[in-house]
Structure 1
Amino acid sequence: WNAAPDFADVMGQPLARRAMVLAAAGGHNVLLIGAPGTGKSMLAKRLPGILPPLTREEAVETTKIYSIAGQLPKGRGLISARPFRSPHHSASAAALAGGGATFRPGECSLADCGVLFLDELPEFSRDSLEVLRQPLEDGQITVSRAAGSATYPSRFQLVAAMNPCKCGYYGHPTRPCTCSPSAVRQYRSRVSGPLLDRIDLCVEMDPVAFDELHTSTPAESSADLRKQVLAARAVQARRYAAPGYEGVHCNAQLTAGQVRRVCRMTPAAERLLRASYDTLGLSARAHDRILRVARTVADLAGKQLLDEEALLEALQYRAQEKVETF
């Protein structure tokens, strides 16, 4: 339970850093795509450090889960830091979901109220990835075995990372990719549509340039970024305290009906969204995802209405298209 490492250590990657701030501010799930060494794991490990502190209820819930799993150090009080779990891609569906002979919470529940980081996402088995659908949808997971069934809370933020292809260098500016086009397609198709549908933010990361590594301008620290996140979360807490938003604590949790109420746009922004919807052939689900992210962009900027700027930024992070096309 060490303190999370600092964002000040991350050189370059302005778009990915911004995506992490949006993720923290709106509770969104993130997918990072990039060659080895572009900083995907570095960014994921720093997300808990800019999330709001655990509430008393969350701390009690998290502590209970770790106690049931037998992972609470002796003589330890309530857990005060948000969990960060990073299971290896060889982890079985049971390791993620929980269960076993003595019913224990799995990785999805150990990440409750924190971050679940899945590195090399396409390398996880299809069964393991299917396990994620229920917790991402319902915030809990039910494990059924011959001995009975148990339901554990599993409200985590998903951060997933993947290479653009099997060898890792598709589209790399200086290193050649050794995969055939069909191998690239096959690799990317291992991540299913239903899982991508639960991911609001997707970022393609380029290798960090030499000059970015040797810049004298310090990057923003986790403490600075956390202030922005807390301000945006305070706006959402006030908004969702109103009747009709039971169980909603952040923008990522809005239902389709609530999105219409909360995401009011300027006329120019509405025109932009209409044009994008037709040109890009967006699904209804993608349309709502874009609005939820745009709402978070506007909350960070302290704006009531979604303007063109908020929508343009949200349109950059569309996951389906980035994984399926190249």
Structure 2
Amino acid sequence: MADKELVHESEQDHSTLDFSDEFDVTYPYPVKLGKGYSRYVNLRQGLDLDIANYQLHDKVITQLFDREHPIEYTFSLLGVNAGSYGFFGSGLAPEVTLQDSPVQPIAWVSVHVEPELFCQWFGHKGELPKNLQPLIRKSDQEYYEGYGKTTSAMQMALQQLLVCPYQGNIKRVYLESKVWELMALVVDQFLETQTVETTSKILNAEDIERIHYASKILLARLDQPPSLMELARMVRINDNKLKIGFKQVFGTTVFGYLHDCRMERSRQMLAAGRLTVTEAAKAVGFANRGYFAASFRRKFGVNPGIYLNAKRQKLKNSG
């Protein structure tokens, strides 16, 4: 996307960089897109802090494809989502299109933590307690995604993080302490949410029938699936019950179910030997062959081109 390319150009222009410390670098926001800055702080291996504050000249659309994801939390400080945060586990992050508006300034604080480091902090000898295990998933499993309102305790920690009075290694230690304080507060809310969801996961027979109907719609429209809200309307169930229902009935999320079905259908197509990799990818809704190939490798452990050639050779030998 153009946004990513412009940010990369800004990072390459060392004359515009601000190194307040060797681990703390501030980049000016690309002038073609807007004004402001983004700040990257490497606190330790596997732990990064990102801070951004900018105002756009025009609407900016960014597309993110399927990708492996660390554990992350992001607090929105300014903009339409101000006063809320998102919390994401490790695993597969689905393709998504983001849209930023020029109407008002945007500011956020984001922290990325590698799963191994998270387990060291919140586990015992690297092993997470059962109630936190949903946050650690394999690279072919959709990550946990949750949202919440910023509490007063979170606001205080964020303010202290943003106005850190120290420099050098003392600043690094101070910022890391605030990052983990925020993580503790976010995880605490996550555990409360899990408790509420567990007690509310009761579906009646009609709900289960609607969930199965929704799965059939997804199977019939792998190339152009409906959005979550559209699917919920089609089967006449609210979107929250649809999400909970898929986890109960199929043991995965709506996206996870769709992703697995797409992968299995594409494998069957390639096994038949009649379609190319590009044709199979397109048939199940992947516009980008590269991302399809990466998803196929994560799921089946082999490149789709190699899989196709092996199946064609086998068909040729058996014929």
TM-score bin (small chain):
under 0.3
Pick 1 or 2: higher relative contact order, CA cutoff 8 A, min separation 6: 1
Task: Compare CA radii of gyration and give the structure with the larger one.
Answer: 2
What TM-score comes out, normalization by structure 2 length?
0.23
Question: Which structure has greater strand proportion?
Answer: 2
